[in-house]
Structures are given as C-alpha cells and as structure tokens.
Amino acid sequence: MKKSSWMGFMFLVMVMFLFPQIGHAAGGGTGIYLDGKALELSKNAQVQNMSGNVMIPIRVVVEELGFNVDWDTKTRTVTIQQSDTELKLVVNQSTATVNGNKVSLPVAPKLMTDTVIVPIRFVSEQMGLSVGWENTSKTVYLTSPDSGSGTGNGSDNGSGNNNGGSDGSGSDSNVNDTANLANVSGISFNNNQLMIAVDKNVKPNIFKMSEPNRLVVDLPYTQFASVFSSNQSLDSTMNGFFDVTDYPDVSKVRYALFNNNPSTIRVVIDLNNAKNYTLINNNDGLIIVDLNADSNDNSGNGNKLVVIDAGHGGSDSGASSVTKKKEKDFNLAVALKVEKLLGNEPNIEIVMTRDSDTYPTLQERAKLANSINADIFISIHANAGSATASGVETYYTKSDSLALANVMHKYLVQSSGLSDRKVRTKSLHVTRETTMPAVLLECGYLSNSKDDAVLFTEDFQNSVAEGIAKGIKEYLGM
C-alpha cells in the first residue's frame, strides 16, 4: 500500500525526533525492529507506555532511514523539509502541522533527556507504516511502506477520496467552512457492520492495516455533530472509542477528529484477525462498512488453507547434523507426513511450499502463502547450535501469530519428547513477510548427539508430524 508522498513524509517526521547523541545498545528488554533489523536503543531512549499509548524514541529509526531534520532547541520544534512539504512538531503539543495544516496527535511528543518520543499508534496510522507490538517481550516491529512487506494490499473499495474539487491545500477558505461539512451524529457496530450516521453525502476512504489488523475509515469533510458527545464517548481532544464484545472479528472501534484541513474524522476498527469488507454508501445518511462478506474465507467453500513449509531444500541443505545428516531432509520428511495426515480432513486444504528436494526462495514461500490468502503458515525446521543445546522452539514474529505459536508449541513439546525451549519471537523472513498467522518450528538440535539420534527415526518423525497436525486442527477449531 503506497501512501501519498506526504504520508511517507509524515512518517519520517514522526520517526525523527531524536537528536545528537549516539546511543548504545540497551540492556533492557524492549526493542525496536525496522524492516526486520534490530535497532540499537540508548539508555534514555527506551520504548515505553504512557497512559495506554506505547511511545517510541525514533531517532534511531530516522537514522536508519537516512533522514535529516532541523531541531530548534529554544522552541523545541522539529522541522522537516522534503521537496515542497514542510512538517513541524513541537514537544508537549498535541498538534503537528503539515504545510501549515494541523494534524492532531493522541499524545503529544515528549522530551526524555535527549530524546523525543512519540506514540506508536499515531506513527502507524498516519504514516501507513505497519507496526507490530509484542507485549511479552515489549518489542515493536516497524515495517516501512517501501519494504515490500506488510499486507501488500491497499484494497480500497471506497473509490475516490476527495470530495469535490478542493483538495484542502492551503488558502481555500471554503474548505473548512463548517456549514459545508457533514455532521457525524453517531458511530455504532451491529450485525458485524460499522455504521456511521451522517447528514450530508460523504465519500469515505477505507484502507486495511496489519500488525495489528485494523480497518481505517477516513471521512473527509466531516465533523462531530454537537449531539455526538451526548450519546457517545468523546473527550476534549475529540477522541473516543467503544469496545466490541459480540463479534469475534472485532475488539474495539476508535474514532477521532484526525485532521483539521480538511476536517476529517477517522474511524478505526480494531480487528482480531484480517478481514475483508464491503462499503455500502447509498448517500442515504448511513455509511456501512460490512464485515459479513468475509465469513466464508478463501475459496468460499469454508475450507481452511494451511501452508506447510519444509525449510531449506535443493542447494540449501540447512544445518548439518553431528552424524552429517542434512536438515533439509528432516524438514521435508516431516512436512510430507503432515500433508498425509491432514490430507483426509474435509475442511483443510494443505499447500506445500515444496514436496521434493527443491529450493524455493524465502520470498517465494511467503508470496505463495500471501497470494492464496492462506489461513496459517507452518514452517518446519531443525536447529543447530552448541553441542549441549537440546530441545524444541517455536518462533513467531507478528503479534497475531502468538496464539498459533502457543498451540503449536504445546504439541511440539508433547510429540517430540524433547525439552521445552519455549515460544520465542524473532524477525524471520517467512514469519514476518506472511500476512496470516505464521510460525517456524525448530524440532530439535542437529548439533546435539542425543537429539540427532532420534530426529531421523521414523517414530520421532511420525510423532512430531502427528503433533503438528493436532496443533493445526486445534488452532483451526476442528
């Protein structure tokens, strides 16, 4: 999903803020990954939580992206100039400006010693940047729009986004004439539909974001009706939300006056899993974003698509065991057994990234899973390390994969009989670049003579394959 250039620009800005001072690796548990690369954080520049907003120090990110910025110590203003766009942010002020137009922030940037921190949620939604937050490890995963990952889908059913001629640039005084704005008098979620009541025609602009999954609905040329706050929560900064408990796909609906020029309300549907939507806008006073269309995923036959990825293959042997056996052969043997075990399941379709000794690239494996809109992605590997390391690990990257990781790991420990080296988070290509819940299983250590002795036995492989099949079925609710 490509955002317009100012969006990209905004991203850099947010990402900006940190000034002089080169940081050194932090000992702490929090971390930031940008496009899969771990960034070094200084002691003063840690990820933190401020009244429910995860704040990140972004100088490190800026440096990584190679951006420049001006910092005025006296006014504590950051100015970023890029071609004909100028952006200014001020510490402790909850509005930023883009070419003089105000944009509101959920929380003002804060100066922490030598570091400015900004709310991560704002970064993601404003900049079209994918952000993942893994709470256990307190890790932020950032994916820049240009990195070719993310959801890879900017599907926008709500055609054009501009309402009439003006694009809200600068001096046109009619743009914000409140008499011309549509009033939003209510926002609700019922029947698996977001409903927005308006008193004039509005052309919504809708887009999907991942990590976490959500749908963003922008309503240009709108304002909150004066009655809105008497019926629904709306704080003094024009932000509000309500929790959604009756529909499994949705956890919360948030809304805010997101831009002042043109006045734009943004509504965000926080999703529990990626969803498609249909926009129903008949200019009858009700804008509906319908999530029902997607209830029969994929091919419409209700089947779940499971991608089984046998790691390595062909020219890439993977790790080599104590007794010189190859990881790629172990991975393929187990993957084929899983395929066979689930082959007769009526509601599961297995797609293999390879079923022989070939080497699809990591990019091809992720692309395959994304292109068929698979439900889950399971990569099978065996590990190597020190001679004493032994046992099984389950890796995931995105927060929406944690539930799958927990289920798969439970069965991996059980079925392997090896020691439990826990569920772990790591930025691995196939678990990062896939758009569905994805895990990578390390089924034992080839570098350990005890593990190696069992890994290539028929019994062990059958047992682990059965464990993987059980985990898949449990996760899919079958």
Interacting residue ranges for Zn ion, rule: CB under 5 A = 311, 318, 381
- Closest approach, Cβ 337 to Zn ion, in A, equals 17
Tokens of 337: 């057994």
CB 386 within 8 A of CB 430: no
Please, which residues bridge with residue 72 across strands?
Answer: 77
Whether the CB-CB separation of 471 and 394 falls below 8 Å is answered with no
| Smallest separation (angstroms) from Zn ion to the CB of 405 | 17
Closest CA to 73 of 90, 58, 60, 57: 90
DSSP letters for 387-411: SS--SEEEEE-SGGGHHHHHHHHHH
Give the nearest distance from C-beta 348 to Zn ion in angstroms.
25
User: Nearest distance from residue 335's CB to Zn ion, in Å?
Assistant: 12
| Coil, helix or strand at residue 9 | helix
- Beta-ladder partners of 50: 53
| Closer residue to Zn ion (CB): 275 or 381 | 381
The distance of closest approach from Cβ of residue 461 to Zn ion in the complex, given in angstroms and rounded to an integer, is 16
In the bound complex, which residue of the shown chain has the CB atom lying closest to Zn ion? 381
Catalytic residues: 442
Distance CA 262, CA 98 (A): 12
Interhelix angle 327-342/458-475, rounded to 10 degrees, is: 50
Amino acid identity at 17: F
Q: What is the rounded CA–CA span in Å between residue 44 and residue 247?
A: 41
CA-to-CA separations, 126 to 41, 121, 278, in angstroms, rounded: 23, 8, 23
Tell me the closest approach of the beta carbon of residue 311 to Zn ion, in angstroms.
Answer: 4
Nearer to Zn ion, 354 or 381 (CB): 381
Q: Which DSSP category does 179 fall into?
A: G
Nearer to Zn ion, 129 or 308 (CB): 308
Identify which of residues 168 and 311 has a Cβ nearer to Zn ion in the complex: 311
CB of 444 to Zn ion, least distance (A): 11
Write the DSSP symbol of residue 40. P
Question: Which of 348, 324, 350 lies closest to 339, judged by CA?
Answer: 350
Residue type, 298: N
**348 phi and psi angles, rounded to 5 deg:** -125, 135
Residue 58 corresponds to which amino acid? I
Least distance from Zn ion to the Cβ atom of residue 428, Å: 10
**369 or 443: CB nearest Zn ion:** 443
Name the 3-class secondary structure at 142: strand
Residue 407 Cβ, how far from Zn ion at the closest point, in Å? 21
Q: By C-beta, is 311 or 471 nearer to Zn ion?
A: 311
Q: How far apart are CA 467 and CA 106, in angstroms?
A: 45
Asked if 85 and 99 touch (Cβ cutoff 8 Å), the reply is yes
**Cα–Cα dist 118/378, whole Å:** 35
At 304, which amino acid appears?
Answer: K
As a whole number of angstroms, the distance between CA 122 and CA 144 comes to: 14
| Other CB atoms within 10 A of residue 1 CB | 17
Burial class, 436, CB count within 10 angstroms (exposed 0-12 / middle 13-18 / buried 19+)? buried
Under DSSP, the state recorded for 148 is: S
User: Which lies closer to Zn ion via its Cβ, residue 9 or residue 395?
Assistant: 395
Residue 265 or 441: the one with the smaller Cβ distance to Zn ion is 441
Place of tokens 């991560």: 120
Distance of CA 26 to the CA centre of its chain: 24
Angle at 153 between CA 147 and CA 155, to 5 degrees: 140
Identity of the residue, 268 or 441, whose beta carbon is nearer to Zn ion in the bound complex: 441
Q: Please give the single-letter amino acid code of residue 111.
A: L
